[in-house]
Amino acid sequence: MKTLSIADADLAWDADLTVLRGVTVEARPGQILAVTGTSGAGKTTLLSAMAGLLTPARGEVLVDGERLTNRDQAVKLGVVLIPQDNGLAAILTAAENISVAVIATGGTAAEARRRTAEALEPLGLSGQANQLIEELSGGQQQRTAIARGLALQGDILLADEITSELDAANRQRVMELLRAEAARGAAVVFATHDPEAAAACDRELHLGDGEAIWVRN
Ligand SMILES: Nc1ncnc2c1ncn2[C@@H]1O[C@H](COP(=O)(O)OP(=O)(O)OP(=O)(O)O)[C@@H](O)[C@H]1O
């Protein structure tokens, strides 16, 4: 399993507007790291850098010592991102969205079928497997995106506000599933507004005023 680390990096989408300065963080195997902060504080920005989608303006993102330069490389290194906007293909079914992702990351068709069923079941979506994404509720879509992320069995799992549309029982279930990912050995990073969810994580990095401050490390 792998460790993701960032040392004293500046993160910016535009050269003239730095979102976060001097970020130092390590995501370790077996742990869930909460990334908290108000809307616009930079949670998605930090997870985008960790996913290989955003190259730091200064400093670098390392996965087991290898510098991330793009998303394809990050995928090959086992960095899985569950994005805030779910990123699902609306005209495919829930099962197809997951199976396609498993096959794209090297799984066989048989593995894709098995892992898809295994990922949908604990999220209460077995009955929705063959429904189109555009026919599902917002919460069901969010759970499908989580199932897809879990089915990929990454070394680093980045979860961006993945419980925002869920009821209390489903939020609890998702926390249990993230805990199971950590127990499998993954380094889990969970961006959240929810103080209760952050409290259930092992460590907490808080973003505010353009800086990242450790609340618990
Ligand atoms: N893909 C992107 N392209 C350009 N700018 C972006 C992108 N994503 C975020 N930003 C900008 O980065 C800044 C921080 O936003 P970010 O989405 O990282 O905050 P956040 O903490 O995730 O907020 P929220 O809780 O509302 O999702 C904002 O000014 C935002 O407009």
Q: Give residue-wise pLDDT tens across range 179-209.
A: 999 999 999 999 998 999 999 999 999 999 9
Q: Give residue-wise pLDDT tens across range 109-154.
A: 999 999 999 999 999 999 999 999 999 999 999 999 999 999 999 9
Going by alpha carbons, the residue nearest to atom 31 of ligand 1 is 40
| Banded pLDDT at 108 (limits 50, 70, 90) | very high
In which residue are the tokens 């994580």 written? Answer: 201
- Is residue 176 classed as helix, strand or coil in its secondary structure? helix
Percentage above 70 pLDDT, the chain: 100
| Banded pLDDT at 155 (limits 50, 70, 90) | very high
Q: Encoding tokens for residue 144?
A: 């499908």
Residues with CB under 6 A from ligand 1: 13, 19, 37, 39-45, 84, 161
Per-residue model confidence (pLDDT) at position 188:
98
Q: How far apart are the first and last CA of the chain?
A: 20
| Banded pLDDT at 66 (limits 50, 70, 90) | very high
Q: 45 CA to middle of ligand 1, Å?
A: 6
Q: Give residue-wise pLDDT tens across range 20-35.
A: 999 999 999 999 999 9
Q: Which ipTM was obtained for this model?
A: 0.96
Per-residue model confidence (pLDDT) at position 192:
96
Beta bridge partner(s), residue 158: 81, 189
- Is residue 200 classed as helix, strand or coil in its secondary structure? coil
Q: 52 CA to middle of ligand 1, Å?
A: 15
Task: Give the pTM.
Answer: 0.97
Going by alpha carbons, the residue nearest to atom 29 of ligand 1 is 40
Ligand 1 atom having least distance to the Cα of 37: 21
Cα–Cα distances (Å) from 186 to 30, 91, 125, 154, in that order, read 6, 31, 23, 7
Percentage above 90 pLDDT, the chain: 98
Ordered structural domains, the chain, with CATH: 1-78+154-217 (3.40.50.300), 89-153 (no CATH)
Rounded-to-10 torsion of CA 155, 62, 37, 184: 20
DSSP summary character for residue 59: S
